[in-house]
Amino acid sequence: MITTETQTDPYTAVQHFYARQMQALDARDLQGYADTFTEDATFAHTPGREPARNRDGIVADLHEFHRKFDTDPLQRRHWFNQIVLDAQPDGSLAATVYALVVDTRPEQRPQITASCVVHDVLVRDGDTFLTRSRTIEYDRG
Amino acid sequence: MITTETQTDPYTAVQHFYARQMQALDARDLQGYADTFTEDATFAHTPGREPARNRDGIVADLHEFHRKFDTDPLQRRHWFNQIVLDAQPDGSLAATVYALVVDTRPEQRPQITASCVVHDVLVRDGDTFLTRSRTIEYDRG
Amino acid sequence: MITTETQTDPYTAVQHFYARQMQALDARDLQGYADTFTEDATFAHTPGREPARNRDGIVADLHEFHRKFDTDPLQRRHWFNQIVLDAQPDGSLAATVYALVVDTRPEQRPQITASCVVHDVLVRDGDTFLTRSRTIEYDRG
């Protein structure tokens, strides 16, 4: 891992954090993904669905959410970019981030399934960050 | 906002600048978007259309350009990435940037409407940048 | 070019490296693209096809690969993002990167032709990097 010594810029550290977080999610490493949240995090990933709370809750919720893919051979990729960071008085960072969900199914061209704006609160954790809360807003036109 | 002290790398500052600039545009904050250009900027966003000149001209031009969306419920997202920066003798940065325009309409899958290369000249403005000129080249195959 | 003095963060330098490398490839500057690899590099870009070896081999291989586009008016764009870097004991960086291939043909909407994960080994070369090996894994669902 690239260490604090070389990664002094929080913007860069956040980009790297998101890259690792999304690669964990897309590899269905749900525990690894949940570990990128704080222990007391909230995660509202689907409108109209109660937010998941704390790491165990996030893992349980994601297992349930991913069940629909069990019979759907799908490689999903999350692209997080166009990151805007605003420092909060408590030292956390409010992040507003564009996200694309790109799905590939056998013998099909990749498709953009969703365009979203992610609203995160990020807190420092050593040389990286943790997500303390996440709310996803889906573009609907 | 993340300040100069923490954002010493101009590449990072440019990425952050583009993220804020695009989020302003996609939120239809046309004044906020125009304010990311220098007062004397030129902006050639559509081939065959006269470039907009200075901030007021850019705002007026964008209002006219966006009028076609008044009856089209559309959430547009601009993705700026793959940024190449070359320092110019006058201290400005020539930026060559890939852009995707991703549109979402109600009940439809997001679609890539355009793939472009953006040619910018960026000038320092305190801890961020301003666009002094922008020319957009559309991929046509 | 932005120099070492200002680009101290290897993560940023890698992003800039990829931006230049992809812009060379998409401009069909195959020699310029090959020059972003080490002299002894290996490049496995297509499953079931023998990897290209060394710069001359990469240029020759790409010329052959691109021949199919001679009669296909196509503007291809490679997007490399969601970069995860892991320092290796020998000082190189293992990079795991998401890639999208976006193709535009005349009178057509841009399309995502492929979603990939790129596995690179990068080595320092002055203020930038070179690719020592590259293996591309295509999403198939």
**What are the pLDDT digits (tens) for C4-40?**
344 568 999 999 999 999 999 999 999 999 999 999 9
* Average per-residue pLDDT for chain B: 92
Is residue B99 over pLDDT 80? Answer: yes
E strand intervals along C37-127 = 37-44, 52-53, 75-87, 93-104, 111-125
The reply to whether residue B111 touches residue A114, judged by beta carbons under 8 angstroms, is: no
Is residue B24 over pLDDT 60? Answer: yes
Q: Is the separation of the CB atoms in B75 and A141 below 8 Å?
A: yes
Going by C-alpha positions, the residue among A82, A66, A57 that lies closest to residue A25 is A66
Does the predicted model carry a pTM greater than 0.90?
yes
| CA distances from residue A19 to A15, B12, B114, C22 in whole angstroms, order as listed | 6, 16, 25, 19
| CA distances from residue A137 to A65, A96, A127, C113 in whole angstroms, order as listed | 17, 11, 28, 27
Contacts of B103 in chain A (CB under 8 A): 141
Q: What is the pLDDT of residues B26-49, one digit of tens each?
A: 999 999 999 999 999 999 988 888
The pLDDT of B2-27, averaged and rounded, is 83
Interface of A with C in 4-43 (CB under 8 A): 6-9, 12, 15-16, 18-20, 22-23
- A17 exposed, middle or buried (CB, 10 Å; 0-12, 13-18, 19+)? buried
Q: Which of A113-122, B53-62, C59-68 has the lowest mean pLDDT?
A: C59-68
**Test the C interface: residue of A8, A26, A71, A77 with most C CBs within 10 Å:** A77
Whole-angstrom Cα distance, residue A56 to residue A134? 16
C108-112 long-range contacts (CB < 8 A, ≥24 apart) are: C108/B141, C109/B111, C109/B112, C109/B113, C110/B100, C110/B112, C110/B113, C110/B114, C110/B115, C110/B139, C111/A109, C111/B112, C112/A102, C112/A109, C112/A110, C112/A111, C112/A112, C112/B112
**Test the A interface: residue of B3, B8, B11, B15 with most A CBs within 10 Å:** B15
pLDDT of residue A48: 84
Whole-angstrom Cα distance, residue A133 to residue A39? 11
* Average per-residue pLDDT for chain A: 92
* Residue at token pair 């365009």: A115
Residues in chain B: 141
Q: Is the separation of the CB atoms in A88 and A94 below 8 Å?
A: yes
Per-residue burial over B30-68, b if 16 or more Cβ lie within 10 Å, else e, is: beebbbbbbeebbbbbeeeeebbebbebbbebbeeeeee
Whole-angstrom Cα distance, residue B36 to residue B131? 6
Q: What is the pLDDT of residues A31-41, one digit of tens each?
A: 999 999 999 99
Q: How many CA atoms lie within 13 A of B86 on its CB side?
A: 8
The reply to whether residue A96 touches residue B23, judged by beta carbons under 8 angstroms, is: yes
The pLDDT of C82-95, averaged and rounded, is 97
* Average per-residue pLDDT for chain C: 92
| Cα dihedral A23, B10, A117, B46 sign | negative
Contacts of B20 in chain A (CB under 8 A): 84
Smallest Cβ–Cβ distance between C2 and the set B10, B15, B111 belongs to B10
In the 8-state DSSP scheme, what is residue B127?
A: T
Better-scored residue on pLDDT, C2 or A18 = A18
Q: Which of A96-105, B85-94, C46-55, C83-92 has the lowest mean pLDDT?
A: C46-55
pLDDT-derived band at B7 (thresholds 50, 70, 90) equals: low
Beta-carbon contacts of A82 under 8 Å, excluding residues fewer than 6 positions away, are: A97, A98, B18, B19, B22, B23, B77, B78, B79, B80
pLDDT of residue A66: 85
Beta-carbon contacts of A53 under 8 Å, excluding residues fewer than 6 positions away, are: A40, A41, A42, A43
pLDDT of residue A65: 86
The pLDDT of B16-26, averaged and rounded, is 97
Beta-carbon contacts of B6 under 8 Å, excluding residues fewer than 6 positions away, are: A8, A9, A10, A11
Is residue A6 over pLDDT 60? Answer: no
pLDDT of residue A8: 67
Q: Is the separation of the CB atoms in A10 and B6 below 8 Å?
A: yes
In chain B, the residue whose alpha carbon lies closest to the alpha carbon of A137 is B75
CB pairs under 8 A between A and B: 83
Number of neighbouring beta carbons within 10 Å of residue B107 = 7
What percent of chain B is helix, strand and coil (3-state, nearest 5)? 25, 45, 30
Going by C-alpha positions, the residue among A36, B78, A69 that lies closest to residue C84 is A36
Is residue B6 over pLDDT 60? Answer: no
pLDDT-derived band at A3 (thresholds 50, 70, 90) equals: very low
User: Does ipTM surpass 0.85 in this model?
Assistant: yes
| Structure tokens given for B5 | 């002290």
pLDDT of residue C68: 84
The stretches of C27-71 forming alpha helices (DSSP H) are 30-34, 54-66
Measured over all CA atoms, what is the biggest interatomic distance in chain A, rounded to whole angstroms? 50
Contacts of C86 in chain A (CB under 8 A): 1-2
Smallest Cβ–Cβ distance between B19 and the set A82, A111, A139 belongs to A82
pLDDT of residue C7: 54
The reply to whether residue C75 touches residue B141, judged by beta carbons under 8 angstroms, is: yes
